A and B are shown apart, each in its own frame.
Chain A
Amino acid sequence: MKKAFLLLTPGLATAGAGEVQLTIEIPRLEVAEYHRPYIAAWLEKPDKSHAANLTVWYDTEMKNAEGEKWLKDIRQWWRKSGRSLKMPVDGVSSPTRPVGTHTVAISDKAVDMTKLAEGEYTLVVEASREVGGREMVRVPFKWDGKTTVDASGAGKTELGKVAIKIETQASN
């Protein structure tokens, strides 16, 4: 069944069961000095404790890992997870992205939903821009391993639409 489904949808992201598809819109901002935002997306449990990192976009190109100097400005992520990580993290960290809507498949190295307990989760996306602002968007969803997750929210300043999609065996 799954194979057939994949064959029928060539060109689409090949989401396997439990794979997380994340969409993050970086809005165009009319500012004198624009730098691409640093963005982190992670999952939290209802008590706001950290469940899993999905992705971290930061300046990986700077020499001497200078980009890591600004990771602390993704403030809540830094507190919940970043400060105890050794960057870069395989499957999690990647370069900053330009203005636009980005849909990415989250590597199972980052998060394997099939191993996450059933329950309420919150997708948190936090953006922080050099010489700019900071914004967090929280999107709650329920994960039971059977029901497809399709939840979204939107920011007002540094973030546009953010969405999370998780396909399940049942929905295939």
Chain B
Amino acid sequence: MNKKPILALAALVALSSPALAHRFWIVPSSTVLSGEQPWVTFDAAVSNNLFFPDHVAPAVEAFQATGPDGKEVTLQNGAKGKYRTVFDIALEKEGTYRVGTVREMILATWKEDGETKNFRGSAADFKAAALDGKPELSVTESYSRVETYVTRGEPNKEALKPTGKGLEVVFDQTHPNDLFAGEKSVFTLHLNGKPAAGVKVSIIKGDDRYRSEAGEIAATTNEKGEFEVTWPEAGRFWVNAAVGGGRGPGAGGPPQAGGQKPAGAPAQGGGGGGGGARSGYTAVFEVLPE
């Protein structure tokens, strides 16, 4: 019985303090590489500050890498620490690699004996839980991707091909491994394979722990789904966009963080079926000095 006010409070906190939103990120040791078989090591975590692990380490198994030929690349030396997950890949082929995680889950709330119950899990688990017909059942499909990109030699776009699922950046104009301070980049945001117009994109430079102001670069996609960024300086930038669900930036926690947050309000928009859909896109881009 006393559960309800706590949940309400949690919801309030989550909504009212975006500055404390947890951010999921994958940071590569470098993004532009040369030589015969360079290696890249990745750090991944969910944290408050970029890129200082202090909250939750995601599972190594959650990550995949796609090579320049579109084929899967084996992650090596994977390890999950308390706050940080690490793994390496060897860039055996020339071109661009996409490395990241896609989380697809069902969030549901319903009433049972006057109490609000939560479900958070895979579509299969949701089916197994047999919640259909529960009073005031509200179901939200959540699809989010968190990724980054690295290139050996000349960049290519095979691994960057849009998937047509959820929110994703389509690199039809600017390649993510060709970003330089002072230059303008143009990216296209898609939702389920179509240009996503009017979506707010938040871009924050890493090391915000050492700044009083986060210095967020806010962009909004135009009718073609495009957004522009002129990189103010070199560094690693966290890029985030979300539709539906009403929760601020952060693209949520990793699967392990399940149950901490209430399944949010009904989706405000976005494609996909069910009672609502939310989708998030998060990436880390490296911008080099001119």
Seen from chain A, the residues whose Cβ lies within 8 Å of a Cβ on chain B are 64-72, 75-76, 78-79, 82-84
* Residues 247-290 of chain B, each 1 if its beta carbon lies under 8 Å from chain A, else 0: 00000000000000000000000000000000000000000111
Once A83-B153, A83-B154, A84-B154 are accepted as A-B contacts, the answer to whether A76 and B38 lie under 8 Å apart by CB is no
CB-based contact B35/A65 at 8 Å: yes
Name the distance in Å between B68's Cβ and chain A's nearest Cβ.
13
B163: which A residues are within 8 A, CB to CB? Answer: none
Once A83-B154, A84-B154 are accepted as A-B contacts, the answer to whether A76 and B34 lie under 8 Å apart by CB is no
A76 to B180, CA, bound (A): 10
CB-based contact A78/B32 at 8 Å: yes
* Residues 163-200 of chain B, each 1 if its beta carbon lies under 8 Å from chain A, else 0: 00000000000000010100000000000000000000
B137: which A residues are within 8 A, CB to CB? Answer: none
Once A83-B153, A83-B154 are accepted as A-B contacts, the answer to whether A64 and B290 lie under 8 Å apart by CB is no
CB-based contact A75/B34 at 8 Å: no
Q: How many residues of B contact A (CB 8 A)?
A: 16
Which B residues, 14 to 37, have Cβ-Cβ distances below 8 Å to chain A?
Answer: 30, 32-36
Total inter-chain residue pairs, C-beta < 8 Å: 41
A79: which B residues are within 8 A, CB to CB? Answer: 32, 178, 180
* Residues 28-51 of chain B, each 1 if its beta carbon lies under 8 Å from chain A, else 0: 001011111010000000000000
Which of B153, B155, B290 has the largest number of chain A CB atoms within 10 A? B153
Once A83-B153, A83-B154, A84-B154 are accepted as A-B contacts, the answer to whether A75 and B36 lie under 8 Å apart by CB is no
7 A-B pairs with the lowest CB-CB distances in the bound complex, closest first: A69-B35, A72-B34, A71-B34, A68-B35, A83-B154, A84-B154, A72-B32
CB-based contact A75/B288 at 8 Å: yes
B34: which A residues are within 8 A, CB to CB? Answer: 68-72, 78, 82-83
Nearest A-chain residue to B31, judged by Cβ: A72
Nearest B-chain residue to A73, judged by Cβ: B34
Question: Can you list 9 contacts pairing A with B, beta carbon distance less than 8 Å?
Answer: A66-B35, A69-B34, A69-B36, A71-B34, A71-B35, A72-B30, A83-B153, A84-B153, A84-B154
B289 contacts which of A66, A67, A69, A75 (Cβ < 8 Å)? Answer: A75
Beyond known contacts A72-B33, A75-B32: 19 more, CB 8 A cutoff: A65-B35, A66-B35, A67-B35, A69-B33, A69-B34, A69-B38, A72-B30, A72-B35, A75-B288, A75-B289, A76-B290, A78-B32, A78-B34, A79-B32, A79-B180, A82-B34, A83-B32, A83-B151, A83-B155
Which of B33, B34, B290 has the largest number of chain A CB atoms within 10 A? B34
B289: which A residues are within 8 A, CB to CB? Answer: 75
Nearest B-chain residue to A86, judged by Cβ: B153
A96 to B180, CA, bound (A): 27
Nearest A-chain residue to B178, judged by Cβ: A79
A64 to B34, CA, bound (A): 13
Nearest B-chain residue to A66, judged by Cβ: B35
Name the distance in Å between B271's Cβ and chain A's nearest Cβ.
37
A65: which B residues are within 8 A, CB to CB? Answer: 35-36
A66 to B35, CA, bound (A): 7
A83 to B154, CA, bound (A): 5
A82: which B residues are within 8 A, CB to CB? Answer: 34
Nearest A-chain residue to B151, judged by Cβ: A83
Which of A65, A71, A72, A78 has the largest number of chain B CB atoms within 10 A? A72
Nearest B-chain residue to A134, judged by Cβ: B289
Name the distance in Å between B31's Cβ and chain A's nearest Cβ.
10
A82 to B94, CA, bound (A): 13
A71: which B residues are within 8 A, CB to CB? Answer: 34-35
Name the distance in Å between A60's Cβ and chain B's nearest Cβ.
13
B290: which A residues are within 8 A, CB to CB? Answer: 76
Name the distance in Å between B185's Cβ and chain A's nearest Cβ.
14
A70 to B36, CA, bound (A): 11
A69: which B residues are within 8 A, CB to CB? Answer: 33-36, 38
Nearest A-chain residue to B290, judged by Cβ: A76
A32 to B55, CA, bound (A): 39
Name the distance in Å between A139's Cβ and chain B's nearest Cβ.
17
A70 to B32, CA, bound (A): 10
